[in-house]
Amino acid sequence: MNHLTQRCLLGVGADNGGFTRIEFEYQNIYDNVSALSPELLKELNEIILEFGHKKKFKKKDKVALRLKSDSFVVESNVHFPTDYNLLWDSARKSMDAISKYTKKYDEIGGWRKLSNWRQELKGLMRELGKASSSGGKGKKDREKNAARGYIKKANALVIKLCATLDGLPIKDIEDLATVYSLEHFIPLIKKHIDLVERRILKEETIPHEEKLFSIFETYTEWIKKGKSRPNVELGKKLNITTDQYNLIIDYQIMDHEQDRDIVLSLADRILAKHKVDVWSFDKGYWNRENIPILQLAVDKVIMPKLGKKNKAEQEEEQSRVFKKYKNFINTI
């Protein structure tokens, strides 16, 4: 279904649909999409699911479902993150906020050379990036020297920003939003100064939980799904469970969770509402407890074992029934 067809169905299309074309402003779309809460979306999905089963596919209540679950990464719109380029992102957004104030209020002083601050800091960031990506003799010394210069300039910017922040006037909602953005980005500058200093100058290994992968889409996770291309994805994992009619039975945004961690809670939600006789997963959902618990309520659980298999497990996974339902995963 293309975009124009959707508009016609909604009664706002044109051309072949016979409706008067209605153009929406960005703010109209933003306001309406913002009103869609997670609870409302789940309600809508239940209505679509019920309609699909009863009206479209004429499913009888006694017919059990054949399910397949799989997860994929919904990618964030972010550049590849490093501690030094996230430091630059935080600094430039802080300087953008200061620029708004200096244009609006003549009495905001001390920032006559704001463009020089921006150019110097960006140059130092690029210098560090070049030193980090290059090879050859003396790389570590070049990298440390570049990091020292970058950190020194960034620390000077923090001092200047903090001194300015306390005296900024707040006369309208725009001023309040600008101050809020400064209060958000200044701590991020400090955080990434600390990370650059510890990683490069002190040669520490930064724990994964301390890292941030975007200062804008802060929920972004560094996800490895065992694929060769891409070997790393930046975003959020989404688990989708569909039935034999290709209708979505359940969906879940995963928060720093592995596939195998959500199986039991997923089963609790679905089995409370639906009768299921076949449920297919890929090997990422496997752990020792998941299969026997699911088998208490599901006749056939198709979940390839992760790791080395014994003889019985090999025979089971080579069986015709297992292969048949395992192939369902490839259709998601």
Distance in angstroms (rounded) separating the CA atoms of residues 191 and 66? 48
Q: Delimit the domains of the chain by residue range.
A: 38-76+222-331, 83-210
- Same CATH fold assignment for domains 38-76+222-331 and 83-210: no
Q: What is the CA 198 to chain-centroid distance, rounded?
A: 26
The yes-or-no verdict on residue 186 having pLDDT over 70 is yes
Decide which of 3.30.420, 3.40.50, 2.30.30, 3.40.190 is the CATH code for 38-76+222-331: 3.30.420
Rounded to 5°, the CA angle 7-10-13 comes to 35
Tell me how far CA of residue 243 lies from CA of 247, 296, 325, in angstroms. 6, 20, 12
* β-bridge mates for residue 173, sequence order: none
Convert the pLDDT of each residue in 232-290 to its tens digit: 899 999 999 999 999 999 999 999 999 999 999 999 999 999 999 999 999 999 998 99
The answer to whether the predicted template modeling score (pTM) of the entire model surpasses 0.75 is yes
Looking at per-residue confidence, does 286 or 327 come out higher? 286
CATH number of 83-210: 1.20.120
Amino acid 307: pLDDT: 87
- pLDDT band of residue 12 (cuts 50, 70, 90) is low
Distance in angstroms (rounded) separating the CA atoms of residues 42 and 104? 45
> Mean pLDDT across the stretch 9-28?
64
The yes-or-no verdict on residue 329 having pLDDT over 70 is no
Looking at per-residue confidence, does 94 or 24 come out higher? 94
Amino acid 332: pLDDT: 47
Convert the pLDDT of each residue in 195-204 to its tens digit: 999 999 999 9
